[in-house]
Structure 1
């Protein structure tokens, strides 16, 4: 599997170089297909990747450019060996030949590898349960620090969802309180690692830092240091998996309850920029800003919004984004925006002498987020950017 993943990554990089160097009039899907076939014949270790998986790399690369031209993503780039996830695509479901051994395990056929046992975690349309409208169309092998995993692509016929009849809600994301809802509900979580696992992680990081001092500049990483790095990545991957599980459960609950979900349009990339500055003008509170950046990245706000987007549409609801500036400083009771009203991370006190309302700062921000939507200030993406729309509410979209 490692050999196939490295071959797939190399084909992607060679295809990217071929695409960027050729003139526009010579770029075509047929020419790229011929180049891949020739490379697999001339380079022996590229033949470790099945021909169908190589074709899947080509289709994925062209789809990446289409997404870039449509403004949905950035341009595809080079995949580095140590910074990209190892993965192999199996585009045809009929080659998998999936069988269920018993309740917890199943067997799947992987091209050029053979029969492999996998953990059965979800119901799959195999055997008598498979038909034209509910069948497996392919799979993807992905490797992380915990090992290899297989994800199956399932084609299913779902009924068109009815319009959701639930209430509207605004959501404010944060660090100390992950999700605060405008109706007073909160969605929080604890530490992703236990106390014993956190102590082990600290011990491994100290061990890796100590072993790194013995490595000379330009010298390859020793086996001991690499073993420490692997254990650290394993613990972090376990924490990431627990976080993703919490996000899925929380977003599923929210999407099933509310018909309209309103979130802030946050520029997260700008929020996590370093405050180090330059030599001429060094930044202030660099250590504190670095810790805040790590906390923001760990919460993965963008992934939460992505999960809410498709789950809300699947349930017959809609998700909208509103401008973020001023939502944490505006008083939801009187509507005045005064500097310094948020006295702490959790307490909001209105500085308007005629109001003086006080309450939870996160819930106040969530109510302001919902207020902006009701005022018709929803942001609608257009050609890769967001524009303010002052109009009536958008009808619920249907899931495809």
Structure 2
């Protein structure tokens, strides 16, 4: 059987000292500044776009004339150019949801540095828990070894490392390895059955077979209390600080502590989602979910001065709960994992799935009372869990198969490159 190449990413935590963190922070801010310089050079040249050759020559000239641009390795600077050009290509592609590239703010953008060539990394396993890599202008650093990387260990998967990207979040710097493995092509048909999944807040995932996938709180009671106190402290200091002034060092440290706790909760949520979606993609051939507009669902209920909203605090709490469940990320993980196993994900229309009885088809909003569904049709009278009833309706509905980026069967437009100089 002929093997196919599969591109994936593997995230590992870096073990850095204070000096190495400072070097990487400087490189990341330089990469952000280079993006902004490229954007200005690319879009503000007397009404015409710059070519790739022009941008490359401008980067080389700037690296010789501006001292601080030399903090960023040359390969990483070229990676910024490629990423910027790809952002324009995505924006100009009608079938891609990307927005127009714009300037990156210092406080709003995520710090990241590319290491495009794998040979520069010189990856080696040190012991059972740690590996070591070379980072340009940083030196030899250790990273947390949590799984075998392709092409590096005898028991690991066949393939290779094609590059890496260094990313910083609230918990510190991480390395994202770009891996390419050789795997058997997915089977023509998954041997499993069809299942409908209802995503909720009280119950994370309710399946049409009557089972549920639930999780506990992402933070322990002690961590929740610590987060509550930090948020009260930050609110008190923000109220005491004069408007339009920069936060003090203590206030900044409080914000960093809050961000670390929230990042820890997100990591636990992503871990649970990965494990759960892997189980579902392995067990079922067709997975049906509602086609939800999550952005509209979590919209604010404040309203306007003339028409103020109602139950604003309750709606804000519901919005936080929906965002904490990350329904969109669950579907994204299911899409590519199902495709790898020969299955597929189908999106069905959302209206009516929670108000209609799956047994008789009678639809009444009064049939649902929180987590209990009791059909109001005297001839039926079915009573059960409301989320299970919705999941069965989702399973029985007809929808559209989707891939990782949209509907299958709809031809995607050929990507258009940014216009060149006439």
Structure 2 length-normalised TM: 0.86
The answer to whether the 8 A contact 2:291-2:347 is kept is yes
The answer for the alignment partner of 1:3 in structure 2 is: 26
The answer for the alignment partner of 1:202 in structure 2 is: 228
The aligned runs of 1:69-108 (5 Å cut-off) are: 69-75=93-99, 76-108=101-133
* Root mean square deviation of aligned Cα: 2.3
State the structure with bigger RCO (CA 8 A, min sep 6), 1 or 2. 2
Say how many residue pairs are matched.
383
Q: Secondary structure at the match of 1:282?
A: coil
The answer to whether the 8 A contact 1:86-1:142 is kept is yes
The answer for the alignment partner of 1:153 in structure 2 is: 178
What displacement does 1:38 show?
A: 2.5
> Taking structure 1 as reference, are residues 329 and 387 closer, same or farther at Cα in structure 2, changes over 3 Å only?
farther
> Taking structure 1 as reference, are residues 126 and 301 closer, same or farther at Cα in structure 2, changes over 3 Å only?
same
The answer for the alignment partner of 1:60 in structure 2 is: 83
Once residues 94 and 293 of structure 1 are traced to their aligned partners in structure 2, the CA distance between those partners, rounded to angstroms, is 45
The aligned runs of 1:31-46 (5 Å cut-off) are: 31-46=54-69
What displacement does 1:124 show?
A: 1.5
Out of 400, 413, 416, the residue aligned to residue 378 of structure 1 is 400
Out of 352, 355, 375, the residue aligned to residue 377 of structure 2 is 352
The answer to whether the 8 A contact 1:192-1:239 is kept is yes
Q: Secondary structure at the match of 2:369?
A: coil
Structure 1 length-normalised TM: 0.90
Once residues 362 and 409 of structure 2 are traced to their aligned partners in structure 1, the CA distance between those partners, rounded to angstroms, is 22
> Taking structure 1 as reference, are residues 128 and 248 closer, same or farther at Cα in structure 2, changes over 3 Å only?
closer
Deviations 1:173-209 (A, max 9, x none): 0111111111111011111111111111111112222
Once residues 49 and 311 of structure 2 are traced to their aligned partners in structure 1, the CA distance between those partners, rounded to angstroms, is 53
The answer to whether the 8 A contact 1:99-1:126 is kept is no
Q: Secondary structure at the match of 2:366?
A: coil
> Taking structure 1 as reference, are residues 36 and 277 closer, same or farther at Cα in structure 2, changes over 3 Å only?
same
Once residues 320 and 190 of structure 2 are traced to their aligned partners in structure 1, the CA distance between those partners, rounded to angstroms, is 36
Once residues 178 and 34 of structure 1 are traced to their aligned partners in structure 2, the CA distance between those partners, rounded to angstroms, is 52
The answer to whether the 8 A contact 2:345-2:402 is kept is no
Once residues 332 and 70 of structure 2 are traced to their aligned partners in structure 1, the CA distance between those partners, rounded to angstroms, is 37
What displacement does 1:140 show?
A: 0.9
Out of 306, 311, 316, the residue aligned to residue 285 of structure 1 is 311
> Taking structure 1 as reference, are residues 213 and 53 closer, same or farther at Cα in structure 2, changes over 3 Å only?
same
> Taking structure 1 as reference, are residues 101 and 232 closer, same or farther at Cα in structure 2, changes over 3 Å only?
same
> Taking structure 1 as reference, are residues 247 and 380 closer, same or farther at Cα in structure 2, changes over 3 Å only?
closer
Once residues 253 and 387 of structure 1 are traced to their aligned partners in structure 2, the CA distance between those partners, rounded to angstroms, is 24
Moved more, 124-133 or 186-195: 124-133
Once residues 386 and 247 of structure 1 are traced to their aligned partners in structure 2, the CA distance between those partners, rounded to angstroms, is 23
The answer to whether the 8 A contact 2:400-2:407 is kept is no
What displacement does 1:336 show?
A: 1.9
What displacement does 1:365 show?
A: 0.7
Once residues 6 and 329 of structure 1 are traced to their aligned partners in structure 2, the CA distance between those partners, rounded to angstroms, is 51
Structure 1 segments unaligned to the other structure (5+ residues): 390-400
The answer to whether the 8 A contact 1:378-1:388 is kept is no
The answer to whether the 8 A contact 1:106-1:118 is kept is yes
Once residues 81 and 46 of structure 2 are traced to their aligned partners in structure 1, the CA distance between those partners, rounded to angstroms, is 18
Once residues 235 and 192 of structure 1 are traced to their aligned partners in structure 2, the CA distance between those partners, rounded to angstroms, is 10
The answer to whether the 8 A contact 2:42-2:49 is kept is no
